Structure 1
Amino acid sequence: MTERRQLAVVTGASSGIGLELARLCAREGFDLVVAADEPQIHGASAELGAFGGMVVAVEADLATLDGVDQLYDAVIATGRPVDALFANAGRGLGRGFLDQDVDEFRRVIDTNITGTVYLIHRIGNDMRARNAGKILLTGSIAGFMPGSFQAVYNGTKAFIDSFAFALRNELKDTEVVVSCLMPGPTETEFFRRADMLDTAVGQQEKDDPAEVAKTGFEALMRGDADVVSGWKNKLQTTLANVTPAGILAEQHRKMAEPGSGER
């Protein structure tokens, strides 16, 4: 009897950390359902198919419940259980909060929190019912700091970091594993899309998304609760736990204030 290939679902898989997670899954013999809210997901799917497994691409707006339902329906259509869910889709937004467009900051919240939590609720219930599965949430070290000039984004990541630990605890008596990957600044399209290229953090040297993804993938396979990628980020999170919030907010301002990269 041929052994069943495992199935992984990866969101935000058109580029960056998500694409690297999908590549790792493909190399490890997973079949894939990959999703993003942009047409580039189809090109990514073609590349991933070269590894020899099944790849289903879903272009859907994961900031909406309908978009998440579209992805879930595509998963159900495979007739396969999800062995690993990589809830990686996310969106950033720079500049001062009061200067931001309401629709733009709502989209950050709906992508990073609402869509992510709804997808995990749908697939997580299926995993719990069969008492098997792995879930990796992409949080961020940004969740440890009040995000001056990135206030909404950092707030959403604080939610995701906290939510991951809570869900893991709720499922501790099951065989469903929940892990949280907490990267620092990573070399992706994030800072361009968040309009932060003129900031100090936007211009600094950043982590390799392939290394970040590898760190998260291996942590999930080991069953770790969480992992911070990169020693500098580990140090930063350790210091954040003992530093007053006001000081952290001022430190973040120096990194994320518009024009800070030109000083």
Structure 2
Amino acid sequence: MDRQFAIVTGASTGIGLELARICAREGCDLLIAADEPEIETAAARLRNEPGAGTIEALHVDLATQEGIEALYAAANGRPIDLLMANAGRGLGHAFLDQELARIRDVIDTNITGTTCLLHRVGNDMRRRNHGRILITGSIAGFTPGSFQAVYNASKSYLNSLSFALREELRDTAITVTCLMPGATETAFFERADMLDTKVGSEAKDDPAMVARQGFDAMMRGEGDVVTGLKNKIQSAMANITPAERLAKQHRKMAEPGSARH
């Protein structure tokens, strides 16, 4: 029987790497991508996983249309069974203090690039009436993100897009699942310049646990999964809390200098 073919973006570290590791252990052939050269190191490690199929790596900027096309071309026309759209960027500090170029990079990576990839691969899956999609959203998408405004807004977009796409594909054999983690132990907060914040300095969830819950939910065809009891409670409370209060609460977590040592 042919191995399933999976694509995982943002797979050099963190949740994406753990998703790719699960795929390798499940015997999938893999195409992994990220915008940093460490993706090659990740691929070398994944090839040592028991039962791993072929592992191909692509160092590419998924914030650009050219990057998305390069990733699609790297599949060499092979039908994609599993798409894990995990690539994303964070950005801390006050909105007006952020560099516009970094704001654009968050939008281009989290929103534009992910949207283009989903549209390209999703159309292929619809033509074949086969496939599973996992989109990495976030519980951050439920909260106006003071001092993380653009990132939270981008995750709100992804959460919403995921549920809408799932409904549109309801009568097909294609499933769409939204993975909604909370703060996870990855390089995210360092890259977002948030190590001096409360959320950046506190204990976080294990990326392997988050990835496993997301992968399993995708394979079961579930609509979404919020990882961890604390995050489930937080997301439930966000649905009944006024937005202004949520923004004030988020400030306490994400404002520079809010870390407790």
TM value normalised by structure 2:
0.98
> Structure 2 CA distance, aligned partners of 1:137 and 1:129?
20
Q: Secondary structure at the match of 1:243?
A: coil
Equivalent positions of 1:1-263 (< 5 A) are 3-51=1-49, 52-75=52-75, 77=76, 79-262=77-260
Q: CA deviation at 1:251?
A: 0.3
Q: Runs of 4+ in structure 1 displaced over 4 angstroms?
A: none
Alpha carbons 2:201, 2:260 under 8 Å: kept? no
> Structure 2 CA distance, aligned partners of 1:245 and 1:122?
34
- Superposed CA RMSD in Å reads 0.8
- Equivalent residue letter for 1:197: L
Q: CA deviation at 1:59?
A: 0.5
> Structure 1 CA distance, aligned partners of 2:260 and 2:165?
42
Q: CA deviation at 1:80?
A: 1.9
> Structure 1 CA distance, aligned partners of 2:236 and 2:121?
32
Q: Secondary structure at the match of 2:247?
A: helix
> Structure 2 CA distance, aligned partners of 1:184 and 1:65?
29
Q: CA deviation at 1:262?
A: 4.2
Comparing 48-57 with 7-16, which one deviates more in the overlay?
Answer: 48-57
Q: Secondary structure at the match of 2:259?
A: helix
> Structure 2 CA distance, aligned partners of 1:124 and 1:238?
30
TM value normalised by structure 1:
0.97
Length, aligned pairs only: 259
Alpha carbons 2:252, 2:258 under 8 Å: kept? yes
Consecutive unaligned residues in structure 2, runs of 5 or more: none
> Structure 2 CA distance, aligned partners of 1:114 and 1:90?
11
- Equivalent residue letter for 1:198: D
Consecutive unaligned residues in structure 1, runs of 5 or more: none
> Structure 1 CA distance, aligned partners of 2:134 and 2:120?
15
Q: CA deviation at 1:151?
A: 0.2
Identity %: 64
